[in-house]
């Protein structure tokens, strides 16, 4: 079963490049490449894409507004924002309006394929740059969390199991368990509920589009 992809980008060379790469995968079918958000909204029901790769900044109807309107017409479609902007405001707005993931345009092309499969599996996908933009520097005032521990804390606080975190970050369950243990030790927290409370109190989950 192939995944039907719609590409929406007002830069033809970008769209053509993505299309050329994705067409090399046997599990991908490109249903169309459009140049603006309005056409995507108007044609989403007819094209019935599984995933839309949607540029954020386009003339007329931008990616964030288009995301909301597309999902009103076809809620089952997953939307991956593909943008050059890595500001927390852009990323948070995209996620809060229903996007399933956010990729920066400088990611390796194979990561786009990974992201497509992950959102199809029902998991939110943020590239490393997007995750880094959203995460505050977390510390208990003594021994700070590493960048990876911050990422794991964000995933755990969003209610994910060790297995889900391992899949999301492409690491082993044992590695997640080690990170969880180190996070609890550094923060002086003994339970997962405590980690969630800490994340909420320190604004870790604010604006990520996640619920706990």
Distance, CA of 83 to chain centre: 12
What is the location of CATH 1.10.10.10 in the chain? 135-201
pLDDT at 136: 53
| Start and end residues for every CATH 3.40.50.2300 domain found in the chain | 3-127
pTM for the model: 0.64
Residue 121, SS3? coil
| Higher local confidence (pLDDT), 16 or 136 | 16
Position 184 scores a pLDDT of 84
- Could you give the CA distance from residue 164 to residue 158 in angstroms, rounded to a whole number? 11
Task: Please state which of the four CATH numbers 3.40.50.10320, 3.40.1390.10, 3.20.20.30, 3.40.50.2300 is assigned to the domain occupying 3-127.
Answer: 3.40.50.2300
pLDDT in tens, 134-182: 765 444 455 777 778 888 888 887 778 889 888 888 888 888 888 888 8
CA-based nearest residue to 63, from 39, 47, 29, 87: 39
Mention every residue, 6+ apart, whose C-beta is less than 8 A from residue 16: 33
Q: Which residue has the higher pLDDT, 88 or 174?
A: 174
| CATH 1.10.10.10 corresponds to the domain 135-201 | yes
Contacts of 5 (CB under 8 A, 6+ apart): 22, 28, 29, 30, 31, 49, 50, 51, 52, 53, 116
For tokens 């510390």, the residue is 139
Mean pLDDT lowest for which of 6-10, 61-65, 86-90, 133-137? Answer: 133-137
pLDDT for residue 199: 72
Distance CA 170, CA 173 (A): 9
């Amino acid at each position: 079963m192939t995944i039907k992809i719609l590409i929406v980008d007002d830069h033809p060379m970008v769209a053509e490049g993505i299309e050329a790469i994705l067409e090399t995968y046997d599990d991908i079918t490109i249903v169309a490449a459009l140049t603006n958000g309005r056409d995507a909204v108007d044609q989403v029901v007819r094209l019935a894409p599984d995933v839309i790769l949607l540029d954020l900044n386009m003339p007329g109807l931008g990616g964030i507004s288009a995301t909301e309107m597309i999902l009103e017409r076809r809620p089952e479609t997953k939307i991956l924002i593909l943008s050059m902007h890595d500001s927390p405001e852009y990323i948070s707005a995209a996620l809060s309006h229903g996007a399933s993931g956010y990729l920066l345009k400088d990611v390796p092309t194979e990561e786009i394929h990974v992201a497509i499969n992950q959102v199809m599996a029902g998991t939110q996908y943020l590239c490393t740059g997007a995750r880094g933009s959203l995460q505050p520097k977390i510390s208990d005032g003594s021994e700070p969390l590493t960048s990876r521990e911050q990422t794991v804390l964000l995933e755990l606080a969003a209610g994910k199991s060790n297995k889900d975190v391992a899949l999301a970050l492409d690491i082993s369950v044992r590695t997640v368990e080690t990170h969880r243990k180190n996070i609890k030790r550094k923060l002086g927290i003994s339970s997962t509920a405590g980690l969630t409370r800490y994340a909420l109190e320190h604004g870790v989950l604010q604006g990520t589009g996640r619920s706990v």
